[in-house]
Chain A
Amino acid sequence: MNNEALHAYLTEQVPDATFDTSGEWLNVQVSVAAFRPLTEKLKKELQFNFLFCLTCVDWKTHLTMVYHLRSTQEGHHLVVKVNLDTQQPQIHTVCDLWRTAEFHEREVYELFGVDFLHHPDLRLLILPDGWEGKNPLRKDFDDPVNMIKL
């Protein structure tokens, strides 16, 4: 499926989605509410079976979840983005669709503080037990003892 066909499909599924075609792959931005139904359709109808990158970007005013998807059968790519609130970031998990998300979401959970709803095992993965409060990959994170400023 080429980018035009993907574009048409997504516009039909999520009418208020915004697109960015400047990069290598088609980027689609959807709302938190539209995200979960869309991912289910992407997995089942468009054979996006390989979630090869899951991460988050802190834009200070909001957080953006970024999902890089590929279909190993069809060969097409799609980048799905969802904006989240910085104070109470919440999004539905995708780890029942792509099992790799279980680890990746735990990583994002501790480093960005995003709460993944219905995740089966949302605990700290990398940070030491008892770590509370600030999330290290947020832009406002500050650790005067261990961080070396250039």
Chain B
Amino acid sequence: MYQTTDILVNETHNDPMGQMVINVGPQHPATHGVLHLVITLNGETIQKVEPLLGYIHRSIEKMCESLTYRQFIYVTSRMDYLSSHINNHACALCVEKGLQVEVPERAQVIRVLMDELTRIASHELWWGAMAMDLGAFTPFFHAFRERETINDIMEETCGARLTMNYMVPGGVMHDIHPNFQKRVKDFLQLYKQKIHEYDELVTGNIIFQNRMKGVGYISPEDAISYGCSGPVARGSGVSCDVRKHFPYEIYDKLQFDEVLETAGDSFARYLVRVKEMHQSVRIVEQLIDNIPEGDFQAKTKAVLKLPKGEFYQRVETARGELGVYIVSEGGTTPYRIKFRSPGFSNLSILDHMTRGSKIGDLVAAMGTLDLVIPDIDR
């Protein structure tokens, strides 16, 4: 079941060896952003996939060098814009590690709630887009129906729908909206009524299964060697959930499972994300009625100065392990900052995992990597 018409043929040329080079992107519906793939084909078989990056490179790392420890967090919302809460969270945690600030428990619970709602919203978007990549349009609307509800909740409390900038060093920017708990509970109720539709529409659908099973296989050794993390690695049976292995905030006190699948193909990665949504719902349910009273922000100085040294903090975003590496010289701005973004490493395996497969399978394999291009380009 190949959809060669999906691939935009910008330029083709044949060489004597029977090879053909085609360009996918930089603007193509299946790349979910401005990613440019140069694909070398022999007939329908992929011989090489070369990603060309940089179309939306903003040099966030360089920008951060001239921004203070309060300011630089806002830029990071623009990296992986589908999990901006979690990006902000990583930066806030890294600065707090340097300052050795104790975050109030109320702030910790609010942060984890926001993280998990973000994870659900991000996986929803991926789920809809994945089905659309494979030729079905309806699931996209089903996914967005629930995702919009989360965005509305975010808008009410944080004032923004995508670039929240809600987590700051020491806690969260301001307290949650009085309606927050009620609306989240309403959402959970709605979500539980609708979640079975996902499985009925896509998971159990034999057409989707045939297109995803056995496609884009990644072995556990390759997943580790290529630095894959998040659902991409967990689909190959590599246990790598930062929330379990290196717990931050209150994750070590929560009841949830790390989802592992061992098949290593696109369908395994699909299942990991769908099951992760259920786990995130579990976490939200445990916390939503148990938000402790108290401060939502620790007292910190107006101008933050990190001591001389190096600080590394990692968190589990919807796409995998995000690392923030700050090198401080003791000033108010970072001397050097590096974002180890999950998408960058996950993309690097694309060539390896699709070599030898048919061009129609490329989209099914790439869709389950869940690439967000601003996260890769930074």
- Which chain A positions have C-beta within 8 A of B62? 136-137, 141
CA distance A23 to B325 in the complex (A): 12
Least CB separation from A24: chain B residue: B312
| Contact call B225/A23, Cβ cutoff below 8 A | no
The answer to whether B309 touches A23 (Cβ under 8 A) is yes
Q: Residues of A within 8 Å of B, CB-based: how many?
A: 33
Q: A23-B310, A50-B227, A72-B238 are in contact. Are A99 and B222 (CB under 8 A)?
A: yes
Chain A nearest CB: distance from B67 CB in Å?
8
| A residues 101-132 in Cβ contact with B at 8 Å | 102-104, 107, 125-128
Contacts of B347 in A (CB 8 A): 103
Residues of chain A contacted by B314 (CB below 8 angstroms): 52
**Which of A51, A137, A150 is B227 in contact with, Cβ under 8 Å?**
A51
- List, in ascending order, chain B residues with CB within 8 A of A149's CB: 66
Contact B336 A57 (CB under 8 A): yes
Q: Are A99 and B348 in contact (CB under 8 A)?
A: yes
Q: Is B338 an interface residue (CB 8 A)?
A: yes
Residue B344 is within 8 A (CB to CB) of chain A in the complex: yes
Indicate if the CB atoms of B66 and A150 lie closer than 8 Å: yes
User: Does B340 make an interface contact (CB < 8 A)?
Assistant: yes
Listed residue (B54, B245, B335) with the most chain A CB atoms within 10 angstroms of its CB:
B54
Is A126 touching B53 in the complex (CB atoms < 8 A)? yes
Cβ-defined contact, B226 with A55, below 8 A: no
B336 touches A98 (CB 8 A): no
CB atoms of A53 and B225 under 8 A apart: no
Asked if B352 is an interface residue, CB under 8 A from chain A, the answer is: yes
Instruction: Determine whether the beta carbon of A72 is less than 8 Å from that of B224.
Output: yes
Q: Are A52 and B325 in contact (CB under 8 A)?
A: no
The residue of chain B having its C-beta at the shortest distance from the C-beta of A51 within the complex is B227
Residues on B with beta carbons closer than 8 Å to the beta carbon of A53: 312, 323, 325, 338, 340
Chain A nearest CB, measured from B223 CB (Å)? 10
Q: Chain A residues with Cβ under 8 A from B344's Cβ?
A: 103-104, 107
Q: Please, which residues of chain B bring their CB within 8 A of the CB of A107?
A: 344
Interface of B is mostly: mixed
A100 contacts chain B at the CB level, 8 A cutoff? yes
In whole Å, how far is B317's beta carbon from the nearest beta carbon of chain A? 14
* Known A126-B57, A136-B62: A98·B227 in contact at CB below 8 Å: yes
Interface string of B233-267 (1 = CB under 8 A from A): 00000111000010000000000000000000000
CA distance in complex: A2, B266 (Å): 37
Q: Is B116 an interface residue (CB 8 A)?
A: no
B219 to chain A, nearest CB (A): 12
> CB-defined interface of A23-34 with B at 8 Å, one 1/0 digit per residue?
111010000000
Across the interface, do B352 and A68 meet the contact criterion of CB distance under 8 Å? no
A84 and B346 alpha carbons, distance in the complex (Å): 29
Within 8 A of B (CB), among A59-117: 66, 68, 72, 75, 98-100, 102-104, 107
Does B377 belong to the interface (CB within 8 Å)? Answer: yes
Q: CB distance B54 to A126 under 8 Å?
A: yes
Q: Which B residues between 285 and 327 are near A, CB-CB below 8 angstroms?
A: 309-312, 314, 321, 323, 325, 327
| Residue of B with least CB distance to A49 | B224
The residue of chain A having its C-beta at the shortest distance from the C-beta of B310 within the complex is: A23
A25 to chain B, nearest CB (A): 8
B54 touches A72 (CB 8 A): no
* Complex: chain A residue closest to B349, CB-CB: A99
Asked whether A55 lies within 8 Å of B227 as measured between CB atoms, the reply is: no
B349 CB → nearest A CB, Å? 8
- Shortest distance between the CB of B78 and any CB in chain A (Å): 16
Whole-angstrom distance between the Cβ of A102 and the nearest chain B Cβ? 7
* Interchain CB contact under 8 A, B323 and A52: yes
Which residue on chain A has the smallest CB distance to residue B321? A52
Complex CA distance for A107 and B54, rounded to whole angstroms: 11
Contact between chains at A137 and B66 (CB < 8 Å): no
**Contact residues in A for B205 (Cβ distance below 8 Å):** none
Separation of A66 and B312 alpha carbons in the complex (Å): 12
Instruction: State how many angstroms separate the Cβ of A56 from the closest Cβ of chain B.
Output: 9
Q: Does B59 sit at the interface, judged by CB under 8 A?
A: yes
Decide if A127 touches B309 in the complex (CB within 8 Å).
no
Question: Lowest 5 CB-CB distances: which A-B pairs, in order?
Answer: A100-B227, A126-B54, A103-B348, A55-B338, A53-B340
Q: List, sorted by A's number, 22 A–B pairs whose CB atoms are closer than 8 Å.
A: A52-B323, A53-B312, A53-B325, A57-B336, A58-B336, A66-B325, A68-B323, A68-B340, A72-B238, A75-B245, A98-B225, A99-B225, A99-B352, A100-B226, A102-B348, A103-B347, A107-B344, A126-B53, A126-B54, A128-B54, A137-B61, A141-B62
| Extra 11 A-B pairs, beta carbons < 8 Å, given A53-B338, A99-B226 | A23-B312, A52-B227, A52-B229, A52-B314, A53-B325, A57-B336, A68-B312, A99-B348, A99-B352, A103-B345, A103-B348
Please list the residues of chain B having a beta carbon within 8 angstroms of any beta carbon in chain A: 53-54, 57, 59, 61-62, 66-67, 222, 224-227, 229, 238-240, 245, 309-312, 314, 321, 323, 325, 327, 335-336, 338, 340, 344-345, 347-349, 352, 377
